[in-house]
Amino acid sequence: MAYIRKRNRKIFLIFMMPAVLVLFGTTIYPMLYAGYLSFRSYDLAKLFVPRVYVGWANYREILSSSEFLHTLIVTFKLMAMTLSVQLVLGVGIALLVTQRLPGMGVARTLLLIPMMISPVIVGLVWLFLYFPELGYLNYFLSFLGLGPYAWITSTDWALWAIAIADIWQWTPFVMMGTAAALTNLSPEPFEAAKLDGNSPFDVFWRVTLPQIRPVLISLMFLRAIDAFKIYDIIFVLTKGGPGDTTEVLSMFIYRQSFTFWRMGVGAAASFVSLVIIVVLITLFFKSLNRDPHQA
């Protein structure tokens, strides 16, 4: 192999070039362009007119506006809501489907379906369920003595309406990752813990959880990265409303850029979001470089 490697180092680099160049052109370049735009006053009506340099004005505007800060708070609130429920439910369901009983494989497979559905379709089917007056969700909940709730039209429930749709789609992801981690665990510590007379709950809390913790942390970072980008479901369900109750960062960028055509301001907000996502991505990769003996 050393023989192949030495002779072909340059050819390997040539193999890599097309992908790297395409990614540079399609990702890094637009990002730099967004950075450039964020220092300009931009008006789409004057597409080819030289843009005026406005310094940090766009950044000053968004960072001092309560509207922008509000969208950041909503974004992180939604993230906290979806991640916490997905973690608890996902681990819980993973513990069920990893039991050594017949039929568990089928159940696991069926539960993966929501993940592969287009987010727009997820939004639309939940819109159908939430629909004022007609939707089935309030009807189902009435059997449990709950509701009726004005899911997408009330400021109390709109954010939960979005969270529930996201939880429905992505709890299977946490379940799938956790179930895979649970199956990889070696059985010895469990037997030792059982012999010591620990209850199943103690075994889970003291033996299982510490072992799968690194995997859970990585899964949560992946979910956080996705939750930060959430857009499609909100676009379908509430479009940021009622009022600005569900206006997340992505909605803010969209409206500044394509409703008000203030692309400079939209680009500045985009750049703030890029900084936040870079932090999340870095934390995710850090979480992967864990001690291999622990995982």
Find the binding residues for another protein in span 43-102 (CB under 8 A). Answer: 47-48, 93, 96-101
Phi and psi angles of residue 21, each rounded to the nearest 5 degrees, phi first: -65, -45
Neighbours of 139 (CB within 10 A): 12
Helices (H), the chain: 2-23, 29-37, 57-64, 66-97, 104-111, 119-130, 136-142, 158-184, 188-195, 200-203, 209-229, 232-237, 249-254, 263-288
Give the SS3 label for residue 41. strand
Site residues for another protein, window 198-217 (CB under 8 A)?
Answer: 215
Q: Is 288 in the site for another protein (CB under 8 A)?
A: yes
CB of 56 to another protein, least distance (A): 18
Give least dist CB 63 to another protein, A.
17
Q: Are 148 and 142 in contact (CB under 8 A)?
A: yes
Closer CB to another protein, residue 73 or residue 120? Answer: 120
41 forms beta bridges with: 52
- Please count the residues of this chain forming the interface with another protein, following the rule CB under 8 A: 103
Smallest gap from residue 119 Cβ to another protein (A): 6
Query: What is the rounded CA–CA span in Å between residue 217 and residue 37?
Result: 36
- Among the residue ranges 60-68, 78-86, 146-154, 271-279, the one whose residues contact another protein (CB under 8 A): 271-279
Nearer to another protein, 36 or 242 (CB): 36
Asked if 110 interacts with another protein (CB under 8 A), we say yes
Q: Measured from the CB atom, is 163 or 181 closer to another protein?
A: 181
Are 111 and 97 contacting, i.e. CB atoms less than 8 angstroms apart?
yes
Site map (CB under 8 A) of another protein, residues 216-235, x = contact: --xx--x--x--xx-xx--x
Q: How far is the CB of 129 from another protein (least distance, A)?
A: 7
Interface residue with another protein, options 52, 63, 80, 107 (CB under 8 A): 107
Q: Give the Cα separation of 271 and 269 in Å (integer).
A: 5
Residue 194 CB, shortest distance to another protein, in Å, is 8
Among candidate residues 77, 81, 108, the one with its CA nearest the CA of residue 95: 108
Residues 245 and 158 sit within 8 Å (Cβ to Cβ): yes
Residue 177 C-beta: closest distance to another protein, Å: 5
| Region near another protein per CB under 8 A, out of 28-36, 53-61, 66-74, 153-161 | 28-36
Q: What is the CA radius of gyration of the chain?
A: 24
Region for 185 from its dihedrals, namely left if φ exceeds 0, alpha if ψ lies in -120 to 50, beta otherwise? beta
Stretch that binds another protein, among 53-61, 66-74, 77-85, 105-113 (CB under 8 A): 105-113
Instruction: Please identify, using beta-carbon distances, which residue of 80 and 120 lies nearer to another protein.
Output: 120
79/92 Cα distance (integer angstroms): 20
From 53-61, 80-88, 155-163, 254-262, give the range in contact with another protein by CB under 8 A.
Answer: 254-262
Identify whether the C-beta of residue 249 lies closer than 8 Å to the C-beta of residue 269.
Answer: yes
Residue numbers 154-193 binding another protein by CB under 8 A: 168, 171-173, 176-177, 180-181, 184, 187, 190
Q: Rule CB under 8 A: is residue 124 a binding residue for another protein?
A: yes
